[in-house]
A and B are shown apart, each in its own frame.
Chain A
Amino acid sequence: GAVVSQHPSWVICKSGTSVKIECRSLDFQATTMFWYRQFPKQSLMLMATSNEGSKATYEQGVEKDKFLINHASLTLSTLTVTSAHPEDSSFYICSARDRVLGTAIEAFFGQGTRLTVV
């Protein structure tokens, strides 16, 4: 299957700083990527849909100024957690679907990023 690479796999940062997480589709083009947040022992919560060349679509309750998403190319989307606070500590996962396959519905997931804000 297709590969989605997420980097870094873990990061520790100080309160007030910003952290950027990258999501790359390695062997396919992804017009749309998705960012999820997962709290301990819970399911994935969709944060936003990242659209190549346009603004991201955020889910209700997700602060767009807090979680900046950029999707500048067909293979890269970035999530920047700005002015991070301890409550932002979580596991963040991205996913993408293959553009070439058109209506293909299988999503490929990144390995996830464990963010710890101290």
Chain B
Amino acid sequence: AQSVTQLDSHVSVSEGTPVLLRCNYSSSYSPSLFWYVQHPNKGLQLLLKYTSAATLVKGINGFEAEFKKSETSFHLTKPSAHMSDAAEYFCVAPTGGFKTIFGAGTRLFVKA
């Protein structure tokens, strides 16, 4: 069965420092993976997606993620955090039949 695990429920960084949000997946085949961001009381916005093309994926707002099959990981990174990055981040994997598996989410706090 497919699953997505976000390893940290909360991450706190200082503004201007790097961001690392961790996601591991389990799948019997090479999956597609996405990162979404959710600001308070808002819907989900797609940050980036991996669909079996380049393993290093660049997204919006300076975020990127690298698909590492050997480590079954798809960690989200950003070189320098901004206050506006404070939000909830979800690692997501679609399944067959159009369903979607969500990670538990990681709340990112950015300190001034």
Interface set of A (CB-CB < 8 Å, partner B): 1, 4, 6, 10, 32, 34, 41-44, 46, 49, 91, 93, 95, 97, 105-112, 114
Contacts and interface: CB of A to CB of B under 8 A. Distances in A.
Query: Interface residue tally of chain B, by bracket?
Result: 20 to 34
A93 B42 CA distance: 9
Nearest to B45: A109
Interface stretch (B13-21, B62-70, B74-82, B101-109): B101-109
Contacts, number: 52
Given A49-B99, A97-B98, A43 B32 contact: no
B30 interface: no
B65 to A, nearest CB: 15
B46 interface: yes
A34 to B, nearest CB: 7
Given A43-B103, A93-B44, 13 more contacts: A4-B43, A43-B102, A43-B105, A93-B43, A95-B100, A106-B34, A106-B46, A107-B94, A107-B100, A108-B46, A109-B36, A109-B43, A109-B44
B90 interface: yes
Residue of B42, B44, B94, B99 with highest tally of chain A CB at under 10 A: B44
